[in-house]
C-alpha cells in the first residue's frame, strides 16, 4: 500500500546528488507542485532525467524552476530548445546536458524498469548520438550490434533513485489513472526508480482495476495535488 | 513564385502523397498545413508523439492534459486513442506510421537528413525526429529549395545528421525529387522553372529520365 504523504515530506526524500526522473512533456503531465517543493527545499547537484527543459519565459514550471535555480548539475533530455536558459547553461558549462532521442529515452527507461539489458534500435545510427557517443546511463560509449544483417544501436538501461510522476487520480493502494496526453513518460518512469512519488490531482479509495494505468505495486508515495 | 505563396504550394503538392486512412506524423510549420489541402474523401489519422494515435484540432475549451508536441492545447480525434511515450515511439519505430513529413536544413543524394542542430548556433535537441525518420515508412521532406539562394540539396550533408539514408521524397517549390538507390531523381517540376534552373539550385546531380511531369494540376 502506498503512503499518502505531504508534499514537503515527499520532497524531503530527494537528497543532494540523487538521480531523479520527472514525468511530463513541456509541462503536460508533469508533477509541477512536487518540483516547486523541491525548488523550495534547496536540494542540489541533481541529475534530472525528463523529456525536456521546460517552456520559454513566464512562470517557472516543473523542472524549469530547478534548472533556473542551479539545482541541476546534469540534465538528460530529448529537447531543450524551448527554454533558452538550458542552452546558455550548457554552453557556459554550468550544467551538463545529455541529449537522447525521445523514443530511445522512453525505451532506456522501460529497459531499466523491466529488467532488460538494453534495447537495440536503428534510431541514432550515423548521428552525433550514435556509435561512440556517451550513453546517458553513464556506463560507457554506445556501440552498434548487427542482428540478422541489420545494424542497431545499443541503448543501455537507465534508472533513477527517485521518480516523480503525475497522476490524474490515485488510490490508497498506489494505483494511478492518467487522463489524456499527460501519461507520456510517467508510465515507464514508475517502474524505473527505487522510490516512486506520484503527485495526483485526486486521491480516491479505489480505482476500477480496468482503468489502472500504473500499478500500485510500483508507487511508494502519493501526494494529493491539493495539499 | 512569390515568397508568400511557397509554403501553400508545397503543402498542396504534399497532400497528394496521402490516401484515406493513412497514419501520418506532421512536423511543425509547413507540414501542419497539409490537412487543409486534402481532398474531401481523404482523411488521415494524425500521430502526435506526445501521446495520441488520432489527434484532433485545436479545441474550443482547453484541457491542460491534452496537448500537442509544441505544448499547446489539442484534442483527440473521433476514433483516436491516448498513448504513453513508449507506445507512441513503438508505433513510430515499428513501421506503423505510413509517413512523416518534416522540414530540413540539408538533404543529400543518399537520402541523409540534417535538421536538428547547427553546431555553435542552435542546439534544440532532436526530440522525436530521429525516431520518426528511422521508423516511418515514408519520410517526406517539404522545404524551400534553397536557403537564401544557397543549395540545401547537397552531394553530402555537412551538418550533423538526424538520420542516415531515411528520406524517400523531397518536395520544394521547384520540383519533386524521389530518393532512389541510384541517387536523386527529378520526377516532377514546377512549370515556372526549367530543369537547368532546378539543377543550378541543387548541388547534388539530379537524375532526369525523359521529361519530368508537371507538379501542378
CATH number assigned to the domain comprising residue B60 = 3.40.1080.10
Of residues B134, B124, B128, B140, the one with CA closest to residue B163: B134
A101: nearest CB among B66, B69, B130: B130
What local confidence, expressed as pLDDT, does residue A1 receive?
79
CA distance readout (Å), A37 to A42, A62, A66, A190, B61: 9, 10, 10, 20, 30
Taking only the tens of pLDDT, chain A with its 227 residues reads 789 999 999 999 999 999 999 999 998 999 999 999 999 999 999 999 999 998 876 677 899 999 999 999 999 999 998 888 998 999 899 999 999 999 999 999 999 999 999 999 999 999 999 999 999 999 999 999 999 999 999 999 999 999 999 999 999 999 999 999 999 999 999 999 999 999 999 999 999 999 999 999 999 999 986 64
Check: CB of residue A188 under 8 Å from CB of residue B84. Answer: yes
Range of the domain at B78: 3-214
Candidates B127, B133, B161, B165: best to mutate against A (most CBs of A within 10 A) is: B127
Domain ranges of chain A: 3-99+158-224
Give the separation between CA B68 and CA B48, rounded to whole angstroms. 6
Residue B84: list chain A partners with CB under 8 A.
106, 183-188, 213
Residue A202: list chain B partners with CB under 8 A.
none
Give the number of beta-carbon pairs within 8 Å between A and B.
158
Q: Which backbone phi and psi does B129 adopt, to 5 degrees?
A: -60, -40
Handedness of CA A208, B67, A125, A84 (dihedral sign): negative
Candidates A56, A102, A114: best to mutate against B (most CBs of B within 10 A) is: A102
Q: Which CATH class is domain A3-99+158-224?
A: alpha beta
Helix, strand, or coil (residue B175):
strand
Query: What is the mean pLDDT, run by run of 10 residues, along chain B of 217 residues?
Result: 93 97 94 94 95 93 88 92 98 97 97 92 90 97 96 98 97 98 98 97 97 93
What local confidence, expressed as pLDDT, does residue B120 receive?
81
Q: Which residue has the cell 544501436?
A: A153
What local confidence, expressed as pLDDT, does residue B116 receive?
92
C-alpha cell at B152: 540545401
A181: nearest CB among B82, B126, B163: B82
Residue B62: list chain A partners with CB under 8 A.
none
Domain count, chain B: 1
Q: How close does chain A come to B209, measured CA to CA in Å? A: 31
Exactly one of B47, B49, B109, B173 is catalytic; which is it? B49
Amino acid at each position: 500500500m502506498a503512503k499518502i504523504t505531504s508534499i514537503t515530506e515527499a520532497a524531503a526524500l530527494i537528497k543532494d546528488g540523487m538521480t531523479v526522473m520527472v514525468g511530463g512533456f513541456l509541462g503536460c503531465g508533469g508533477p509541477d507542485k512536487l518540483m516547486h517543493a523541491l525548488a523550495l527545499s534547496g536540494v542540489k547537484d541533481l541529475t534530472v532525467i525528463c523529456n525536456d527543459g521546460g517552456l520559454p519565459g513566464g512562470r517557472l514550471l516543473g523542472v524549469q524552476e530547478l534548472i533556473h535555480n542551479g539545482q541541476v548539475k546534469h540534465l538528460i533530455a530529448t529537447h531543450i530548445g524551448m527554454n533558452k536558459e538550458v542552452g546558455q547553461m550548457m554552453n557556459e558549462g554550468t550544467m551538463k546536458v545529455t541529449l537522447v532521442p525521445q523514443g530511445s529515452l522512453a525505451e532506456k527507461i522501460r529497459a531499466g524498469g523491466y529488467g532488460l539489458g538494453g534495447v537495440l534500435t536503428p534510431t541514432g545510427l550515423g548521428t552525433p548520438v550514435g556509435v561512440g557517443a556517451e550513453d546517458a546511463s553513464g556506463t560507457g560509449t554506445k556501440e552498434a550490434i548487427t542482428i540478422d544483417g541489420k545494424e542497431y544501436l545499443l541503448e543501455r538501461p537507465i534508472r533513477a533513485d527517485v521518480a516523480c510522476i503525475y497522476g490524474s487520480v490515485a488510490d490508497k493502494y498506489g494505483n494511478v489513472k492518467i487522463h489524456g496526453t499527460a501519461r507520456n513518460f510517467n508510465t515507464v518512469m514508475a517502474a524505473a526508480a527505487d522510490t516512486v512519488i506520484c503527485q495526483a490531482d485526486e486521491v480516491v479509495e479505489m480505482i476500477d482495476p480496468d482503468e489502472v494505468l500504473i500499478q500500485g505495486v510500483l508507487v511508494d508515495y502519493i501526494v494529493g495535488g491539493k495539499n | 513564385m512569390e515568397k508568400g505563396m511557397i509554403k501553400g504550394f508545397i503543402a498542396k503538392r504534399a497532400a497528394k502523397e496521402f490516401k484515406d486512412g493513412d497514419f501520418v506524423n506532421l512536423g511543425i510549420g509547413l507540414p501542419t498545413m497539409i490537412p487543409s489541402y486534402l481532398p474531401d474523401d481523404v482523411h488521415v489519422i494524425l500521430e502526435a508523439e506526445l501521446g495520441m494515435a488520432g489527434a484532433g484540432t485545436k479545441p474550443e475549451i482547453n484541457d491542460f492534459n491534452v496537448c500537442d508536441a509544441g505544448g499547446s492545447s489539442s484534442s483527440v480525434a473521433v476514433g483516436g486513442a491516448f498513448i504513453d511515450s513508449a507506445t507512441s515511439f513503438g508505433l513510430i519505430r515499428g513501421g506503423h506510421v505510413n509517413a512523416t513529413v518534416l522540414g530540413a536544413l540539408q538533404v543529400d543524394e543518399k537520402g541523409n537528413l540534417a535538421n536538428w542542430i547547427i553546431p555553435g548556433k542552435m542546439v534544440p535537441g532532436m526530440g522525436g525526429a530521429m525516431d520518426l525518420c528511422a521508423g516511418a515508412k515514408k519520410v517526406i521532406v517539404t522545404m524551400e529549395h534553397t536557403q537564401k539562394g544557397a543549395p540545401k540539396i547537397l552531394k553530402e550533408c555537412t551538418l550533423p545528421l538526424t538520420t542516415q539514408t531515411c528520406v524517400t521524397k523531397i518536395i520544394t517549390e521547384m520540383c519533386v525529387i524521389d530518393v532512389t538507390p541510384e541517387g536523386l531523381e527529378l520526377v516532377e517540376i514546377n512549370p515556372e522553372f526549367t530543369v537547368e534552373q532546378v539543377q543550378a539550385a541543387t548541388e547534388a546531380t539530379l537524375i532526369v529520365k525523359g521529361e519530368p511531369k508537371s507538379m501542378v494540376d
